[in-house]
Structure 1
Amino acid sequence: MAASADPVAAKSLARMTGLALPTTYHLLRTLVFEGYLRKLADGYVVGPAAMVPSTPALQSLLPRIRPVLKSLRDEVGGATYLSVYSEGEIRLLDIADGPNVPCVDLWVGVHDSGHATAFGKCILAGLSAADRADYISRHQLHDLTPNTITDRRVLERQLDGQAAIWSDAEEYLLGTACLAAPIRVGEHVGAVAVSLPARRPPVNGHSAALQRAARRLGWAMAGPLISI
């Protein structure tokens, strides 16, 4: 979209990226909600949130991280996500999904749902006590489903645990469960996650696959291009 002089229609974007049209619409809604895109009458254009100094560095990382996300997607049979903590917010960098493994409809912005997602809790648990307290103080713990943690003390107790794999059991969206593994690159904190139907129980291999992907993503993001 940034390379186009005119607004780009959703169908054109789906065709260019090879994504299913429903998946394209899901991603577009999320990007518009978070300010990375703007929706006009004849298509989409780049929004103000995308105009940040770190954007070129993050774009440069995509060729390194996307193959890892796709490999994880194919191994576990679920859409995969890479997120990082940047400038006080949890930000989604990339998603790997497909026609048979669609990504979660991110109907609530990622930066407002850290308490309810596996990758959000994974990142919050990896922050310093001061950074975590700052994030929680600036974000309401929205009641997204009957399973969402909305009590700050309960959330903080859970985040004090040092889990190798974090999960959300239909806390963000009913019918969907997620698993996430932490990524640490120097002082930077991130997470790789996979979403699965809640009715499909995770297997032992999923945790190992997530941890392998987290290590590979950490290596990929540790180069001089990173600027998050």
Structure 2
Amino acid sequence: MGQNDSLTGLASVQKAFALLDVVASHHRGMSAKEIAAELQMPLPTVYRLLKTLVASEHLVHLKDESRFGLGYKLHALDKSLRRQVGTPPSVARLVRELHVRADAAAYYAVHRGEDIVVAHVVESPTRPRITPMGFGFNDAAHATAFGKVLLAAMDADRCRTYLQRHGMPSMTAATITDPVLFDAELEGVRASGIAVEREEFIRGASCMAAPVTTAAGQTVGSVAVSMDPSDFHARSEEVSVLLRDVASRVSRALRGTPLLGR
């Protein structure tokens, strides 16, 4: 079945989102013919959608290059998304402190609806984040330390449903993809209060995470760091102590805020 077959019965808004996704995936934008070819969508349909999306400022027509690129309205949507996900300044400061003290890229992840999403990242040129784990990343929770923390906090049915919906693809040779082995992994996270992943998401980077909790002990988020595997091996004990400390302080900073009710 071609992609056009899967799009035929979809509403125009779904086709528009598919078009936005494909334009976003090309750093220089795309011509109408390129979009039509990649989506296997009739060229007149593409032109009609492009006209609508340019008028709404979700796309811009780069006339000199005969291409279409992302529009500036999407920047406003990004800003609104960041406000809705909401990382309080006190938490952002603690994540930055974690970055400095651990000498590693630092992350804060939360539950948002049925997703596990990165809400804040602090990195530096010498300690960059894992690509693509920027703000809004919500994939491969089974292969990330912060994802394991939040999955371990779910009841068995919810966790099973999450993994069935998102799958457990093999990201690297080290990714745990067997459900029985993964259940044992999550049990270890619950017992120790720390999650680790050793090059399970991407080769050349390992992570460690700790839970952020309410006063009642409900896990509502996770703080994590990523680093070179050799550095991770040498410093894992030191970093685990630091993560527990920062996670505890983030938990206290969040208590009494609306974020805990999500």
TM-score range, shorter chain: 0.7 to 0.9
1:207 counterpart (197, 215, 240): 240
The question of 1:193 aligning with 2:193 is answered no
- Whether the 8 Å contact between 1:85 and 1:188 is mirrored in structure 2 is no
Q: Who is 2:35 aligned against?
A: none
Q: Which amino acid aligns with 2:97?
A: S
Q: Which amino acid aligns with 1:170?
A: E
Q: Who is 1:145 aligned against?
A: 172
**1:185-226 superposed Cα distances (whole Å, 9 cap, x missing partner):** 254521100000112122422111100110111112222332
Unpaired runs of 5+ in structure 1? 1-9, 11-37
Q: Who is 2:193 aligned against?
A: 164
Structure 1 or 2: more helix by fraction: 2
**1:97-144 superposed Cα distances (whole Å, 9 cap, x missing partner):** 112111110279843301100111111111122221221121111111
Q: Which amino acid aligns with 1:71?
A: E
**1:144-186 superposed Cα distances (whole Å, 9 cap, x missing partner):** 1010111122112211222221100000010000000011225
Unpaired runs of 5+ in structure 2? 1-26, 28-57, 61-68
- Whether the 8 Å contact between 2:118 and 2:133 is mirrored in structure 1 is no
The question of 1:176 aligning with 2:196 is answered no
Higher relative contact order (CA 8 A, sep 6+): 1
Identity of paired residues, percent?
28
**1:60-86 superposed Cα distances (whole Å, 9 cap, x missing partner):** x33121110111111111000000122
The question of 1:87 aligning with 2:113 is answered yes
Cα-Cα RMSD: 2.7
Looking at structure 1, the residues matched to 109 and 228 of structure 2 have their Cα atoms a distance apart, in angstroms, of 20
SS in 1 for 2:181: helix
Q: Which residues of 2 match residues 23-102 of structure 1 at below 5 A? A: 41=69, 45-46=74-75, 56=83, 58-59=85-86, 61-102=87-128
Q: Who is 1:103 aligned against?
A: 129
Structure showing greater Rg: 2
Which TM-score applies when normalising by structure 1?
A: 0.73
Q: Who is 1:217 aligned against?
A: 250
Measure how far apart 1:51 and its partner are. Answer: 5.9
- Whether the 8 Å contact between 1:115 and 1:141 is mirrored in structure 2 is yes
